[in-house]
Structure 1
Amino acid sequence: MAKSRISADGGMETSYGFRDVTEGEKQGLVNDVFHKVAKRYDIMNDVMSAGLHRVWKNAMIAALNPRKDASFKALDVAGGTGDIAFRIVEASDRKAHCTVLDINGSMLAVGEERAVQRKLSDNLTFVEANAESLPFEANSFDAYTIAFGIRNVPRIDVALQEAFRVLKRGGRLLVLEFSEVEMPLLDRVYDQWSFNAIPRFGKAITGDSEPYQYLVESIRKFPNQGDFAKMISEAGFSRVTYTNYSGGIAALHSAWKL
């Protein structure tokens, strides 16, 4: 069922799920997906991960362990709805500041509304911009996080170079992403769930199965753990490691700018 994954040498810039598109076309198609699902994004993640995304995200924040002081500045990319940013601020006892960057205005609108509801607006800044061209000075952030967003970036290598640029020396990169299942038999079960159940649930929840079909396919095209770790190293990062969650359904990649 699954198509071959992109290698560390690239290819995601012309891969829209299992479809090949022209260079420059992917970003608009991806934007349309997230305009459609923005208001039900959390439900989407629950469907795609059977609720486990919440556990994985908590583990990501535990690994980050943000400092409990106002000088700690994090950048959460492709995090428009605020899910990771809220966790970072709460883990810092509401002292750290997190900039939430997303290319999709609909996602950001959901995040800003949720931030007001949670009384976290003072700790957050929302910015509409492209991960491939960050509107920040070099050496600006202590941490760069991105959860389930890097595979939607057309030029992943460029985004990683930008992450390296804006991090301070000693800064931490954490990337949480659906990955390649490495546990025997689980991969078959997960394929059946992904390609048969998820699009149907998506249509039932939102009335449209196409965004979910793309998201399922994009997971299968994304580089596996080893190839993606190689890409992170090639961007200049040190101490590159990854930890599999749930047999490799997701993986947390960690690296440092030293």
Structure 2
Amino acid sequence: MPSDFERKTTHFGYREVPKNEKAALVAEVFRSVAPKYDLMNDLMSLGMHRLWKRFAIEQAALRPGDQVLDVASGTGDLAKALARVVGSKGRVVMTDINEAMLQVGRERLEDAGVMGNIDFIQADAENLPFVDHYFDCVTIAFGLRNVTDKVTAMKSMHRVLKPGGKLLILEFSHPQTPLLNKLYDLYSFNIIPRLGALVTNDRDSYQYLVESIRMHPNQDALKAMMHEAGFEDVEYYNLCDGIVAVHKGYKY
């Protein structure tokens, strides 16, 4: 059986597509949903995504003056909170591969008055355009599952971290209780695409998002991938019985 590196295709939701086409397909999804992305997050998670992000930020244990890279920043929820923690002497670099999402994020942060210590850079998670050993912390929230080669992306994140720096991954994962897993499937496949159709007039993008969650590695598989990328002392925390998980690992 060929390794992930040797395979010429990857998954886009439940579809198998050429590796070199996935980024463009994902970009089109987020270009379509960007204007109402935050509203849909609130509706889909019943507002819980805000608590999940708060927990991730607590696990980052940032200090004033820290340099933070937020990968796949989307509309900037996490970056905004991170900027407040590191303060005026710190810096948050907000990146996303998708120009439309990054623009929405910039506008939201401008409206919130949180701009003094944030930079905006369009960047690919698999090839981050930053010098080695620079950031105290790298975060990625609900973005890793859309990356074509996750280990390559995490190696890129490892490279730009200082020794002693940490990576925080907040991502949908796999519920641990069989009954909840069944209920979660019923909700995800029957409700979320319909919400997408009603709110964004785009059912297909939210069908992809649901499928992408199911195709994402489970908690232990992602932990092993972080080790493969060079991270040590890797641990994870299940939230809502594993519907979401926070993974944390260090560069030494």
**Under a length normalisation based on structure 2, what TM-score does the superposition of the two structures give?**
0.95
Number of equivalent positions: 250
Counterpart in 2 of 1:52? 48
Shift of residue 227 of structure 1?
0.4
Asked whether the equivalents of residues 8 and 231 of structure 1 are also in contact (C-alpha less than 8 Å), the reply is: no
Asked whether the equivalents of residues 66 and 96 of structure 1 are also in contact (C-alpha less than 8 Å), the reply is: no
Asked whether the equivalents of residues 109 and 115 of structure 2 are also in contact (C-alpha less than 8 Å), the reply is: yes
Matches of 1:11 and 1:237 in 2, distance apart? 24
Counterpart in 2 of 1:225? 219
Shift of residue 116 of structure 1?
1.3
**Structure 1 position 161 matched with structure 2 position 155:** yes
The equivalent position to 2:18 in structure 1, one of 22, 26, 47, is 22
SS of residue paired to 1:122:
coil
Q: How does 1:1-258 map to 2 (within 5 A)?
A: 14-69=10-65, 72-258=66-252
Shift of residue 122 of structure 1?
1.4
Matches of 1:106 and 1:252 in 2, distance apart? 26
When structure 1 is superposed on structure 2, of 234-243 and 117-126 the one drifting more is 117-126
Change (3 A) 1:132 1:190: same
SS of residue paired to 1:132:
helix
- Alignment deviations for residues 215-258 of structure 1 (CA, whole Å, 9 cap, x no partner): 00000001100000000001111100000000100000000001
Shift of residue 50 of structure 1?
2.4
When structure 1 is superposed on structure 2, of 241-250 and 36-45 the one drifting more is 36-45
Q: What's the RMSD between the two structures over aligned residues?
A: 1.8
Matches of 1:75 and 1:11 in 2, distance apart? 30
Unpaired runs of 5+ in structure 1? Answer: 1-6
Matches of 1:127 and 1:78 in 2, distance apart? 10
- Higher RCO (C-alpha under 8 Å, 6+ residues apart): 1
Report the identity percentage. 46
**Under a length normalisation based on structure 1, what TM-score does the superposition of the two structures give?**
0.93
Matches of 1:202 and 1:249 in 2, distance apart? 20
Matches of 2:70 and 2:193 in 1, distance apart? 27
